[in-house]
Amino acid sequence: MAQPALSRRNLIHLVGKAGGVAAAYHTMAAMGLLAVPSAYAGPPALPPGRGRRLVIIGAGIAGMVLAYELRKFGYAPLVLEARTRPGGRNWSLRGGDTVIETGSTQRVVWDQDEHLYFNPGPARLPYHHEGILAYCRTLGVPLEVLCNDNRGALMQDDHAFDGAAQLNRRVVNDARGYVAELAAKAVNKDLLAQPVSADDKERLRAFLREFGALDKDLAYHGSSRAGWAEPPDAAHAGGPYQPLDLRQILASDFWRGPMQFGEFSTMAATMLQPVGGMGRIGHAFGRALRGVVTYEAVVTQLRRTEAGTRIAWKHAGTGAEHRIDAPFVVVTIPFPALRDVDTDFAPATRAAMASVDYVPAGKVAFQTSRRFWELDQQIYGGISWTSRDATQIWYPSGGLQRAKGILVGAYIWSDDLGNAFAAKPLSQRLGDSLGDVAHLHPEAPRWLGQGVSVAWKNIPYTRSGWAEWRSEARATQFPLLLKGDGPYLFAGEHMSFITGWQEGAVRSAHKVLGDIAERMG
Amino acid sequence: MAQPALSRRNLIHLVGKAGGVAAAYHTMAAMGLLAVPSAYAGPPALPPGRGRRLVIIGAGIAGMVLAYELRKFGYAPLVLEARTRPGGRNWSLRGGDTVIETGSTQRVVWDQDEHLYFNPGPARLPYHHEGILAYCRTLGVPLEVLCNDNRGALMQDDHAFDGAAQLNRRVVNDARGYVAELAAKAVNKDLLAQPVSADDKERLRAFLREFGALDKDLAYHGSSRAGWAEPPDAAHAGGPYQPLDLRQILASDFWRGPMQFGEFSTMAATMLQPVGGMGRIGHAFGRALRGVVTYEAVVTQLRRTEAGTRIAWKHAGTGAEHRIDAPFVVVTIPFPALRDVDTDFAPATRAAMASVDYVPAGKVAFQTSRRFWELDQQIYGGISWTSRDATQIWYPSGGLQRAKGILVGAYIWSDDLGNAFAAKPLSQRLGDSLGDVAHLHPEAPRWLGQGVSVAWKNIPYTRSGWAEWRSEARATQFPLLLKGDGPYLFAGEHMSFITGWQEGAVRSAHKVLGDIAERMG
């Protein structure tokens, strides 16, 4: 641990051009020594509610955060929820549940056990999503660590390695070695932006050696980081793998995402999950808001009135029609689902809503009678990637080593694949997923039980996976929606810069609470 | 996801010298397309035991694996264990437990709750340690994911960044960006081993851009992978950090291990742990071996006899002395603890035992009345690194978001620090650890309750952390011990190529089972 002396030269200038960071952030330079970014503010305080009624459409995360906070300050929020359950896309399917899509109904017949669940919607809680994590804490939803990026999982690409699945640890660490080796060549050839002392150069070389597991000549010849072709045991030292062919790695799409996956801000460790499924959060909110959420309340019409707005809704069970007046209403349901509601939004609002892209996400899950990924391939949680339609295969991070499991056999989110997935008959979705899974796990078909699929595009009252804003729409249309449209305020993941995450819904709800405070103040 | 055409040139040759891998592994090249290494064989089958008595010294993992397997095949193993509990270094401390070192006794007064435990010994189960994982499965020890390498944790070095702690995600991803930028310079300057087509070069550049989050000019100017100085929320896109100064990263020791930590073979995700502490494994074995393990049996003498060996032991409670004859005995206790036993090992055996280095590992843990690392710094599990004596700070991966926690305030394993730690009075160990923790977590002292320390060097019947073989001793002395010494067979982590891990103990036990099968066969 000796500390070699380092010359005072600023090595940052040796590698890159100085000052490439946007001027807007120059003032943040002083923050470079801070260990943590600005603290999470939490929900805003509100003026006393004095029992005032507020109407919220949708008992997803955004709607329930709104109701939860409003009630804390003495308001009387009313949440209208079309479904029979709270949570919206926050949802864990279990044996006995039903999946209703437009045109199909699936009855889940899996075994009943705490670890046998499937999250068709969100399934991850990044450690820095402090809003949703704080609600888990407040509501007493136990969390556990989820493995997201698993060095023991697989990457498969039909265009590389003859289509054979490769170990994540080999792809990642062999690539890392090759990159370090290239970087060392640049150092050796003095490609730094300015001349450096021999000492500095040597330290940079030593750093690259560690970075990439290079040998003393700064070449990469494989490393135990990639695992072992022959693992060590009691009497044998073990033998490393031959490094993977860089040409094959480059021919694959592994480097377009899978290889850096665990470094992405929202994908990095520590990743968390509620014990027993993401739906535990929705249900905890639902329990806390008993009497506040009206279920089976399908909103049919929104109209401006002199006093604000009139909301018409129909009970999905009885068909009874209701009307409520409110000074304003917070609409939290995704815009694609709003198309089924007769509204009098302003044309500019409608245009702004139409400018958001929605991801046609879909997933497939199977109950399995054997956790073959753990037993046969040493895969505990995490994700395997395939260039085939299934895109991702998820292994459960809960119920480890139990007899049975729920395997996510496809997680699809690209436009083309997602739309095609939604259009497929249920049996074809399962068959296609099974085929892709079997390419990575040839033994899988023996152990797969009932499969269940969810194409969010076809799920009533949601009709979409999540929002994605193209930069132009974000710049021009989003601010408009953020202001609201007369008596209509909008909240949800789509109304945030953290789209596709429950945290976006929480932060959006907090933002709208601030707007309500202003209107009430 | 379009696949640009790639020329047939083998790019592996462009970067490195061809064929740098040891000739011994050339024959493994064919394995390059295999997704998983050779399967775990499991314990060997034994000839029928017919009630034959076998004596094993030590109820650590190796000793209990031996007994468990022997009994399966009809043998009558007898395990002599000096302590009152099974497990050896497999040990979880809880409120009510006692730590006895030579010269000191600590009574643990922590609250009693499943998540409030401290593993003074092993605390991790790598996903590919199939032997120990298989026993967890067989014995019904529930496992959960442990976060080992946490992008939200800290790295601190007194020689860099003015000694201020840095976020793991910033250090790791900024370094990655700089390395990719250097590598891109090598590509641009045609430092590849042979000329390449413009297409290949472009694909290599695109790969490096993704690898390091470079901009289109292949320069690194920071990335959201490092996190956000201003995190995004509902109405704001968020602002990235200024990249860290490479000179400071190089001045630190971060790159000598901490930055690559999660890529090391035995440290990579998925990391697992028993729910409720590592000691759950030892206790599960202990329950399974009720009647097979004799506790408080302190072996005092080993002597060769005509029939094999005579083992003398004393009951630690009653002082009663006992003798057992056996055709041979498996000694599983660490060699430093064997020094307290009067043996007649051959001089060559003694010399071989003395050639092993033992790591003087030590840890400190505190009960805390607030999980400040989670609440204030968004750290859920994982490890922070410091250049100060504490070396590592561990945050629990279990009991997330509960009110209290057990924080590992120091994990020390280097020779100098470990020996010094063992020599310190208990109060100084705690005070020093607290000081180091407070440097990373200034608020810590408010919340820390009772601290407990364990210096393995001072723990009777163990007297050491774990074995490390220098290469010469491994080549010349280890094979000797592996063969055994007449009636004496040796097992344990030290008798494996997986030293310092419970898996080493398991594999060593399996190896010795094979030897027993041979002797019995």
pLDDT in tens, B52-74: 999 999 999 999 999 999 999 99
Q: Which residue has the tokens 């850096």?
A: A260
Residues A476 and A422 in one domain: no
Interchain proximity B6–A250, CB inside 8 Å: yes
Interchain proximity B507–A234, CB inside 8 Å: yes
pLDDT, position B196: 79
pLDDT, position B384: 98
Residues A454 and A419 in one domain: yes
Residues B391 and B422 in one domain: yes
| Beta strand residue intervals within A306-460, DSSP E | 308-315, 321-326, 329-331, 357-358, 362-368, 382-386, 392-395, 405-412, 448-455
The closest CB to that of A159, out of B3, B182, B203, belongs to B3
pLDDT in tens, A426-449: 999 999 999 999 999 999 999 999
pLDDT, position B191: 86
- Selected residue with higher pLDDT from B191 and A329: A329
pLDDT in tens, B401-452: 999 999 999 999 999 999 999 999 999 999 999 999 999 999 999 999 999 9
Task: Kindly tell me the sign of the dihedral angle through the C-alpha atoms of B350, B354, B358, B360.
Answer: positive
pLDDT in tens, A387-407: 999 999 999 999 999 999 999
Cβ neighbours of residue A481 closer than 8 Å, sequence gap 6 or more: A349, A352, A353, A490, A495
pLDDT, position A38: 58
Residues A451 and A468 in one domain: no
- Select from B382, B417, B414, B385 the least CA-distant residue to B156: B385
Interchain proximity A29–B143, CB inside 8 Å: no
How far is B353 from chain A, CA to nearest CA, in Å?
16
Mutate to test the interface with B, among A179, A236, A395, A443 (most CBs of B within 10 A): A179
Structural domain includes residue B2: no
CATH number at residue B185: 1.20.1440.240
Dist CA B119 CA A397 (whole Å): 22
Widest Cα–Cα separation across chain B: 85
Report the 10 Å Cβ neighbour count for B315.
14
Dist CA B182 CA A254 (whole Å): 21
Residue B15 has pLDDT above 90, yes or no: no
Domain count, chain B: 3
Taking CA A96 as the corner, what is the angle to CA A95 and CA A97, rounded to the nearest 5 degrees? 95
Mutate to test the interface with A, among B61, B148, B247, B503 (most CBs of A within 10 A): B247
How much of chain A is helix, strand and coil, in % rounded to 5? 35, 20, 45
> What residues of chain A lie within 8 A of the CB of B228, using their CB?
37, 265
Interchain proximity B127–A12, CB inside 8 Å: no
Cβ neighbours of residue B53 closer than 8 Å, sequence gap 6 or more: B75, B76, B77, B78, B326
Supply the ipTM of this predicted assembly. Answer: 0.93
The domain boundary residue, chosen from B404, B434, B458? B458
Residue B28 has pLDDT above 70, yes or no: no
Cβ neighbours of residue B85 closer than 8 Å, sequence gap 6 or more: B91, B282, B283, B286, B295
Q: Which pair of tokens denotes residue B360?
A: 């003087």
- Select from B508, B478, B461 the least CA-distant residue to B357: B478
Residue B137 has pLDDT above 50, yes or no: yes
Q: What single-letter amino acid sits at B91?
A: W
pLDDT, position A330: 98
pLDDT, position B404: 98
pLDDT, position B41: 84
Structural domain includes residue A203: yes
pLDDT in tens, A22-79: 222 232 333 333 444 556 889 999 999 999 999 999 999 999 999 999 999 999 999 9
Dist CA A1 CA B389 (whole Å): 11
pLDDT, position B307: 94
Residues A402 and A441 in one domain: yes
CATH number at residue A395: 3.90.660.10
Interchain proximity B191–A189, CB inside 8 Å: yes
Structural domain includes residue A7: no
Q: What single-letter amino acid sits at B93?
A: L
The domain boundary residue, chosen from B458, B474, B503? B458
Structural domain includes residue A71: yes
**SS3 of B358-386:** ECCCEEEEEEECCCHHHHHHCCCCEEEEE
Mutate to test the interface with B, among A148, A151, A176 (most CBs of B within 10 A): A151
Dist CA A187 CA B186 (whole Å): 9
pLDDT, position B415: 97
Task: Kindly tell me the sign of the dihedral angle through the C-alpha atoms of B94, B96, B97, B101.
Answer: positive
Mutate to test the interface with A, among B127, B155, B211 (most CBs of A within 10 A): B127
Dist CA A366 CA A106 (whole Å): 13
**Least confident among A185-194, A265-274, B13-22, B236-245:** B13-22
pLDDT, position B38: 58
| Beta strand residue intervals within B62-213, DSSP E | 76-80, 98-101, 104-107, 125-126, 143-146, 154-156, 166-167
Using only C-alpha atoms, chain A has a radius of gyration, in whole angstroms, of 26
Residues A348 and A470 in one domain: yes
Interchain proximity B253–A1, CB inside 8 Å: yes
The closest CB to that of B495, out of A137, A234, A250, belongs to A234
How far is A8 from chain B, CA to nearest CA, in Å?
9
Interchain proximity A381–B270, CB inside 8 Å: yes
pLDDT-based confidence at residue A13 (cuts at 50, 70, 90): very low
Report the 10 Å Cβ neighbour count for B355.
18
How far is A126 from chain B, CA to nearest CA, in Å?
10
How far is B139 from chain A, CA to nearest CA, in Å?
11
Dist CA A463 CA B213 (whole Å): 34
Structural domain includes residue B32: no
Q: Which pair of tokens denotes residue A457?
A: 């595009």
pLDDT, position B14: 45
Residues A338 and A470 in one domain: yes
**DSSP-derived secondary structure for B254-265:** GGGTGGGGGGST
Dist CA B262 CA B148 (whole Å): 7
> Residue B96: which region, alpha, beta or left (left: phi > 0; alpha: psi -120 to 50)?
left
Dist CA A117 CA A91 (whole Å): 10
CATH number at residue B81: 3.50.50.60
Residues B367 and B454 in one domain: yes
Q: Which pair of tokens denotes residue B485?
A: 């010494």
- With the CA atoms of B108, B114, B115 and B117 taken in that order, what torsion angle do they form, in degrees rounded to the nearest 10? 30
pLDDT, position B248: 96
Structural domain includes residue A432: yes
Structural domain includes residue A34: no
Using only C-alpha atoms, chain B has a radius of gyration, in whole angstroms, of 26
pLDDT, position B231: 94
Strand, helix or coil for residue A369: coil
Mutate to test the interface with B, among A146, A265, A372, A482 (most CBs of B within 10 A): A265
DSSP state, A98?
Answer: E
How far is A238 from chain B, CA to nearest CA, in Å?
8
> What residues of chain B lie within 8 A of the CB of A197, using their CB?
none
pLDDT in tens, B213-235: 999 999 999 999 999 999 999 99
Q: Which pair of tokens denotes residue B260?
A: 């690559």
pLDDT-based confidence at residue A371 (cuts at 50, 70, 90): very high
Interchain proximity A255–B211, CB inside 8 Å: yes
Residue B33 has pLDDT above 70, yes or no: no
Helix (H) or strand (E) holding B53: strand B53-57
Residues A342 and A366 in one domain: no
Taking all residues of chain A, what is their mean pLDDT, rounded to a whole number? Answer: 92
The domain boundary residue, chosen from B458, B476, B506? B458
- For residue B12, give the chain A residue with the closest CA: A246
> What residues of chain B lie within 8 A of the CB of A250, using their CB?
6, 11, 200, 203-204, 207
Interchain proximity A220–B15, CB inside 8 Å: yes
Residues B485 and B339 in one domain: yes
pLDDT in tens, B90-119: 999 999 999 999 999 999 999 999 999 999
Structural domain includes residue B160: no
Q: Which residue has the tokens 């007369």?
A: A486
pLDDT, position A521: 73
Interchain proximity B268–A482, CB inside 8 Å: no
Taking CA A145 as the corner, what is the angle to CA A142 and CA A148, rounded to the nearest 5 degrees? 135
How far is B216 from chain A, CA to nearest CA, in Å?
12
Q: How much of chain A, in percent, has pLDDT values that exceed 90?
A: 89
Residue A86 has pLDDT above 60, yes or no: yes
Residues B446 and B384 in one domain: yes
Strand, helix or coil for residue B156: strand
| Beta strand residue intervals within A35-116, DSSP E | 53-57, 76-80, 98-101, 104-107
Residue B483 structural domain? 53-87+281-356+466-520
pLDDT in tens, A99-154: 999 999 999 999 999 999 999 999 999 999 999 999 999 999 999 999 999 999 99
- For residue B131, give the chain A residue with the closest CA: A233
Task: Kindly tell me the sign of the dihedral angle through the C-alpha atoms of B243, B248, B250, B252.
Answer: negative
> What residues of chain B lie within 8 A of the CB of A382, using their CB?
269-270
Q: What is the mean pLDDT of residues A182-196?
A: 87
Residues B478 and B351 in one domain: yes
